[in-house]
Chains A and B, each alone.
Chain A
């Protein structure tokens, strides 16, 4: 049995895939959060950060490819394990089975995972497709260079209550997902012992709660107006905006 076989064909191997991809994704979402927390700084900061990422070019695509692969493997192992587990339970179920000590998070991994997946797809579309206001408004000058005004895009994005609520729900589910995942991945690679499992569980919960609070702070700040749009052009456009604006409609039509 070579390593690939062990990873992809055995139950324990799939769990290792799940754990390692999980670890990478935990690293990613935390990095992502830290990047986004720059929203609380002047707009130049986060715009520069976004521009830096954009300017990576080929490397950015490599990272995106890697993350996509990670997500695919994470999901593949999840689906594979879920199907096997369902088969292993057998045709006849219990009339009533008690839950003894499994946490809420652990019991809802596949649901929280599925909703988070839907959220991620929405999230990518949300911030990469251009806005109805017109792309030219969202370019700002940064040290003499025209860069995308991510700061404004975010603030505007989260000013819509429905979008924000969806974000908050999704982030909450992801946090719950993490609270099991973070300690679980240690178990799957054999690094969880009785001696420090309590501590590990607490760390997992603390990380998850902080993760939720960090994201909630961004969404909340935008929604409540604690962080405001600072792009003068956009502000002007917003002020001019009317309920039955043909300009917007024609722009939306042209995008579609």
Chain B
């Protein structure tokens, strides 16, 4: 099959970008989208041009590196997959495919289709952990955790940190990401001692990074390659209200 590509090209963060058109012929429907892009790039290099820059690594849908906005949907037309797991059979012969970077103020474009998603790391550093000294832990089975809670925590933990939720959200909100990360730890007993601090700090970091607000449209969940449910956002809201109230009305030790 044969497809036309309309790809966002931008030399660097400060440069003016724009769309350029490319053609990919002899496309095998069983090729992945990124393999098709590889071939286009090989052609560009052979013709003496500058290849398209796009982020990718594991190519098995788990590292969260790849992040193309394909025809207006993060990661492409299929549901619950990453860009690298999008295959050319999802397109028709003769299609024009528009490829853009994930866009958000908090995700500045670095080059072509590559965006800087370090804001997500900053949010994690604000509280996405359980403070535990290496080697100081009790036996793992001393802390029974019900299967349903463990499974739910795993649902949240499946997040690959790709940023599709932000890209899909009309408001560039990172709520699904933050709620999944905070939710996983808040659900588990290990995360309980730092729960309130975690929620308040991660929300503050999210706001500071310049992400938008959730308007409860759930585009994030629909675009998520792991289909993480928006119910974690509700949980984050609930935890936030609880944490704020407790912070104000609970007795506290002297500083």
Contact = CB atoms under 8 A, between A and B. Distances in A.
Interface in B90-109: 98, 100, 103-109
Interface string B49-72: 000000000000000000001011
B125 interface: no
Given A96-B71, A100-B223, A101-B218, A189 B213 contact: no
A190 B203 contact: no
Contacts of B212: 11, 84-85, 87-89
B11 interface: no
Contacts of B248: 2-3
Interface in A180-232: 180, 183-184, 186-194, 197
Nearest to A106: B217
Interface string B184-227: 00000000000000001001101100111111111101110000
Interface string A1-37: 1110010001111111000000000000000000000
Nearest to B217: A102
A96 B74 CA distance: 11
A76 to B, nearest CB: 14
B237 A187 contact: yes
A192 B231 contact: yes
Nearest to A187: B216
Nearest to B220: A100
Contacts of A98: 71-73
A231 B221 CA distance: 58
A99 B68 CA distance: 16
A107 B203 CA distance: 24
Contacts, number: 154
B213 to A, nearest CB: 4
Nearest to A103: B217
Interface stretch (B35-43, B129-137, B140-148, B167-175): B167-175
Contact of A190 (B8, B204, B239): B239
B122 interface: no
A12 B238 CA distance: 10
A95 interface: yes
Contact of A88 (B104, B203, B216, B235): B104
B107 to A, nearest CB: 8
A89 B216 contact: no
B114 to A, nearest CB: 14
Most interface-central of B8, B229, B244, B247 (chain A CB within 10 A): B244
Given A103-B217, A190-B241, A94 B72 contact: yes
Contact-residue size bin, chain A (C-beta under 8 Å from the other chain): 35 or more
The binding surface of chain B is classed by DSSP as mixed
A11 B238 contact: no
B112 interface: no
Contacts of A89: 103-105, 170-172, 212
A10 B203 contact: yes
A96 B211 contact: no
Contacts of B207: 10-11
Most interface-central of A1, A109, A190, A197 (chain B CB within 10 A): A190
B123 interface: no
Interface in A71-107: 81, 84-85, 87-103, 106-107
B213 A15 contact: yes
B150 interface: no
Contacts of B8: 95
A102 B214 CA distance: 12
Contacts of A184: 215-216
A187 B230 contact: yes
A230 to B, nearest CB: 46
B236 A190 contact: yes
Given A11-B207, A90-B108, A94-B69, 7 more contacts: A11-B211, A12-B240, A12-B241, A84-B213, A89-B103, A90-B103, A186-B234
The 3 tightest CB contacts between A and B, nearest first, are A190-B238, A88-B212, A85-B171
27 contacts: A1-B200, A10-B204, A11-B213, A11-B214, A12-B241, A84-B171, A85-B215, A87-B210, A88-B104, A88-B171, A88-B173, A97-B69, A98-B71, A98-B72, A100-B168, A100-B219, A101-B219, A102-B217, A102-B218, A106-B215, A106-B216, A187-B233, A187-B234, A188-B216, A189-B241, A190-B234, A197-B231
